[in-house]
Amino acid sequence: MQANGSVGRLMQALRCLPGVGPKSAQRMAYYLLLRNRDGARVLAESLLAAVDRVGYCERCRSLSETALCAVCASPSRDQSQLCVVEMPTDVYAIDQAGCYRGVFFVLNGRLSPLDGIGPVELGLDRLEQRLAGGEIKEVVLATNTTVEGEATAHYLGEMAQRHHIRTTRIAYGVPMGGELEFVDGATLSLAFNGRREF
Binding interface with a copy of itself (CB under 8 A): 1-3, 5-7, 9-10, 12-14, 16-19, 24, 26-34, 36-37, 39-51, 53-54, 62-63, 65, 69-71, 87-89, 91-92, 95, 108-109
- By CB neighbour count within 10 A (0-12 exposed, 13-18 middle, 19+ buried), where does 50 fall? exposed
Q: Which is nearer to a copy of itself, 73 or 132 (CB)?
A: 73
Q: Which is nearer to a copy of itself, 117 or 174 (CB)?
A: 117
Kindly state the smallest distance separating residue 10's Cβ from a copy of itself, in Å: 4
What is the spatial distance between Cα 137 and Cα 166, in angstroms, rounded to a whole number?
6
Question: In the chain, where does DSSP find H-type helix?
Answer: 5-14, 22-35, 37-53, 70-73, 88-97, 124-132, 147-162, 185-193
Q: Which is nearer to a copy of itself, 43 or 67 (CB)?
A: 43
Kindly state the smallest distance separating residue 24's Cβ from a copy of itself, in Å: 7
DSSP state of 174: P
Q: Which is nearer to a copy of itself, 16 or 180 (CB)?
A: 16
Kindly state the smallest distance separating residue 127's Cβ from a copy of itself, in Å: 17
Kindly state the smallest distance separating residue 186's Cβ from a copy of itself, in Å: 25
| Closest by Cα among 183, 110, 123 to 149 | 110
Residues 105, 82: contact at Cβ < 8 Å?
yes
What is the spatial distance between Cα 29 and Cα 24, in angstroms, rounded to a whole number?
8
Kindly state the smallest distance separating residue 165's Cβ from a copy of itself, in Å: 25
| Bridging pattern class, strands 102-106 and 78-85 | parallel
Q: Which is nearer to a copy of itself, 42 or 132 (CB)?
A: 42
